[in-house]
A and B are shown apart, each in its own frame.
Chain A
Amino acid sequence: MKKKRISALLLAVTMTAGVLAGCGGDTAATTGNETATDSGSDSGEVIELTFYNADGEEDPWTDPVAQAITDKTGIKLKTEYPISQDDETIALMIAEQDYPDMIFAKGDAGSLIDAGALIDMTDLIEEYGPNIKKLYGEEFDKLKYSAEDPSIYQLSSYNVGGEVFTHAGTAQVQWDVLKANDYKLPDTLEEFETMIKDYLAANPTTEDGLDRIGFTLSCADWHWMITLGNPAGFIADGAPDNGQWLIDENNQAIYKFRSDKEKEYFRWMCRMYNEGILDPDFATQTHEDYIAKIASGRVVALFDTDWDYADGEKVLKTDGKYGSTYAPLPLTMDKDTTCAALMYQGLTTGYGVGISTSCEDPVAAVKYLDFLCSDEGQVLVQWGIEDENYFVDEEGHRYRTEEEIKMSNEDTEYKKTTGVGFHNYPFPYYGDGIVDSTGSTYTTKSRASVAAEYNEEQKAACEAWGVELMVDVFPQADEFETPPYSAIWAYAKPMEFDEIANQLDEIAWPSLIGCIMGSEADFDASYEAMLDELEATGMAEAEQMLTDIIAEKVSLVQ
């Protein structure tokens, strides 16, 4: 009897709690809506546009910058984003024929255009997008899809012009290591190897007593292209980033792992693995494991790029272990190869925001994009709110306080809470170093600001090298000609091409790892086997297709 009463009581309590929780949720939701409508009341009702962002994260649209955008445009975005970066959200959207209003599809844009899911923005931009035209300037025509179909389906999600002030280089090494090497930059892979080995011999463990790792890679998923594939092209061939492809001076494309120099690079990797310098666990670790290793300060060197290892490095910075953070190196395999890191490849097209056919109010969407491209919009998304995130000095120049800068560098939640720098990418933006009418740069970065934000390790290095910025030790951008085609990795390519290219990557990924993990004696045989398999899967055909695509793009510009 007593038992029954207790369970009845429990039931009652749970149900009441449930009801209360339900009500609570409702009230919160209604209040949220009301505030949103209030703030946009000047320009009528707030229009909510759905936006799929392939690089997105949770965005409740509650931060101050988001509110300011809504105040100005009467539009709020509801962001959808993929759970993992290599899922098939876009393909599923096409299968369901259900699109959000605006889409940033990254590499899947080709199939969206094929499916007729994106609208041609040319006329809309002509009418409602003066700022978009202004932002793209001379490079506006590069947004056109192809010779037969000169529609503009997407804007570009990358910088328009500008200079490069920060670059992660082709390889990275902990500052402590470089310091132990008297800040002498390694010119060849051998020098790089000796530097790491010397450091490991002198400092086998970290201060916390963990064993140091020479270098590690993240190969569990698509990251293999970033840490294993890309550096091979940069370091061995001195090539700019064209994804899995190398383009020679005659605009001929080849699948990059066919290059002899890259074979030597992977042979070196194989030797490093067998000597234990390359992390023995690199092949099975997840990307989270990889980041965790970086965060522990154990990893002496990396072959990666800043946005990829930033999460790990942030932890090191918060712990104050600046010596264990990473120095960018313009590393190449031999002295004859030039590091093309700073080369301006022209406007990157093919990756960008487009408006879908499901969008009921494309004019609103274009107006939203136009606002972001306007000077006011650019300053808002890049700098934040005046007198809060940034201030204006007597000469009318924008500046940020030191606390603000420190917070933006170290607080992992800074972007989300303040909204500064949270709503720019993947929308169009001016490159670093370009100034607006007030004489301040559009982005928060300028030569001076970048130098001012350096931590003590970076400052010490610049002093030792006798330069203002770290990238000054790289081969400079003016040494390179801007190619007449944009970066290949971002082009929306035809499906027939992607079908082969995907299979090539499918083969290269496990094969390369297999080559590295095998013995050095087996290396040549395994590498040849991989090339044979690639050849059998249609490598030559894909190369010809890409060469033709490049030829068409080049003729469009000329």
Chain B
Amino acid sequence: MKAKSKEKIIKQKFSLQLMWKQRYLLMMSVPFVIWLIVFKYVPLWGWTMAFQEVKPKTFAQPVWERKFVGFDNFIKAFSDRLFGQTMINTIGLSILGIALGTIMAILFALMLNEICFNRFKKVTQTISYLPHFVSWVVIASIAKMALNDGGMIDTLFGRNLNLMSTNSPLFWVVVCLINIWKEMGWDAIVYLSAMAGIDQGLYEAAKVDGATRLQRIWHITLPGIKPTVVVLLIMSIGSALNVGMERQMLLSNAIVQDHAMVLSWFAYVRGIGTSNYGLGTAIGMFQSLVGILLLFLANKIAGWLGESKLI
């Protein structure tokens, strides 16, 4: 019954008649469309800066008076000595972050979901997502106190573990672990609500059939939240290159700098830092375009996996 009505809606063809029929709905959406155009599309004209030489001297000039330099800014960005390593870092951090973050959040949600004692569950959940609201500045100082050479963890183990002073991808792992500590509880909320939406009858039926707790998780809970997981994954892959720079800036130091630099920070250092706004825009534009590309790719993959596509 449900499936049938769904098909009907899809079959409705776009026509003036239909528009007239849904005129109130359309009118309701007008403000949001205007908002979208004004705040999301109009600012894109700023991308013209990526093809111009824009430095403090020329910044105040109108767009048409600035010097067009073609793809010079892109060439400069791609041939920068930091660019290669920055890309590797950005992608490495994203993959690690998405994988570890998703797995930990799901595990945490599962554990919470299995707790029978309701009040304890609520309290744990609330405490777990509190760090999400704390600024990275605070988190980074706490993390540095614990992880720096001679910090809490080193003292605990009685030797220098070089967690923050090894110039290797170990730094990515450290950053991702800190990120998990901060965001796990918050990310788990979505999975928890997805779990709450699973038909309780399935669990009861499974119980009657003699399924163990782990079997119930494996065969009912996980398939139940699969669509949610896929949607969230697609969204996070789309923003894979947008690794937040404040986190990187706050946690890095001279030694691990090679493995801390990410694209957004690179755009900031080269664009704002040396007042070469054209170059900064070019890097930002590159980041956005690759982001869109990745989004489509992830969507395709989701289609192959037999999941509903997002777009």
> Which residue numbers of A lie inside 8 Å of B, CB to CB?
88, 91-92, 94-95, 97, 111-112, 114-117, 219-220, 224, 280-281, 283-286, 289, 495, 498-499, 502-503, 509-510, 513-514, 517, 533, 536-537
Contact = CB atoms under 8 A, between A and B. Distances in A.
B275 A91 contact: yes
B150 interface: yes
Given A115-B57, A285-B149, A286-B144, A88 B268 contact: yes
Interface centre among A88, A91, A503 (most CB of B within 10 A): A91
Nearest to A113: B56
B191 interface: no
B164 A115 contact: no
Contact of B254 (A88, A115, A283, A499): A283
B165 interface: yes
A226 to B, nearest CB: 14
B272 A111 contact: no
A555 B300 CA distance: 67
Given A116-B57, A514-B167, 8 more contacts: A88-B272, A281-B150, A284-B144, A286-B148, A498-B274, A503-B81, A510-B255, A514-B255
B167 to A, nearest CB: 7
Interface centre among B57, B164, B253 (most CB of A within 10 A): B253
A94 B150 CA distance: 41
B55 interface: yes
Interface in B243-285: 253-255, 257-258, 268, 272-277
A219 B56 contact: no
Contacts of A219: 253-254
Nearest to A219: B254
Given A91-B275, A283-B165, A285-B148, A114 B255 contact: no
Contact of A94 (B59, B253, B254): B59
Interface centre among B160, B255, B258, B275 (most CB of A within 10 A): B275
Contacts of B272: 88, 91-92, 95
B56 A281 contact: no
Given A281-B149, A283-B254, A97 B274 contact: no
Interface string B72-85: 00000000010000
A430 B85 CA distance: 50
22 contacts: A94-B275, A95-B277, A112-B56, A115-B57, A116-B57, A220-B253, A220-B254, A280-B150, A281-B148, A283-B255, A285-B150, A286-B144, A286-B148, A495-B55, A495-B275, A498-B274, A509-B254, A509-B257, A510-B257, A510-B258, A513-B255, A533-B81
B273 A91 contact: yes
Contacts of A94: 56, 59, 275
- Which 6 residue pairs are nearest across A and B when measured between Cβ atoms? A115-B56, A281-B150, A281-B149, A114-B56, A111-B275, A284-B148
A92 to B, nearest CB: 7
B163 to A, nearest CB: 9
Contacts of B254: 219-220, 224, 283, 509-510, 513
A22 to B, nearest CB: 24
B3 interface: no
A284 B56 contact: no
Nearest to B252: A220
A539 to B, nearest CB: 13
Nearest to B54: A95
B180 to A, nearest CB: 21
B60 interface: yes
A116 B255 CA distance: 38
A495 B141 CA distance: 34
Contacts of B164: 284
Contacts of B57: 114-116
A514 B167 CA distance: 9
Contacts of B60: 97, 115-116
B270 to A, nearest CB: 9
Nearest to A512: B254
Interface in B46-89: 55-57, 59-60, 81
B149 A284 contact: yes
A92 B56 CA distance: 10
A503 B79 CA distance: 14
B160 A114 contact: no
Contacts of A91: 272-273, 275
Nearest to A279: B150
B164 to A, nearest CB: 5
A116 B253 CA distance: 35
B182 to A, nearest CB: 19
A95 B59 contact: yes
Contact of B59 (A115, A502, A503): A115
Contacts of A284: 144, 148-149, 164-165, 253, 255
B253 A283 contact: yes
Contact of B149 (A95, A280, A498, A513): A280
A231 B253 CA distance: 21
A517 B167 CA distance: 12
Interface in B155-211: 160, 164-165, 167
Contacts of A537: 81
A462 B89 CA distance: 56
A38 to B, nearest CB: 40
Contacts of A224: 254
Interface centre among A115, A224, A498, A509 (most CB of B within 10 A): A115
B274 A499 contact: yes
Contacts of A499: 274, 276
Interface in B126-169: 141, 144, 148-150, 160, 164-165, 167
A112 B59 CA distance: 11
Contacts of A115: 56-57, 59-60
A280 B277 CA distance: 40
Contacts of A289: 148
A116 B277 CA distance: 16
B199 to A, nearest CB: 33
Given A114-B56, A116-B60, A219-B254, A502 B274 contact: yes
A497 to B, nearest CB: 11
A109 to B, nearest CB: 11
A517 B255 contact: yes
B152 to A, nearest CB: 13
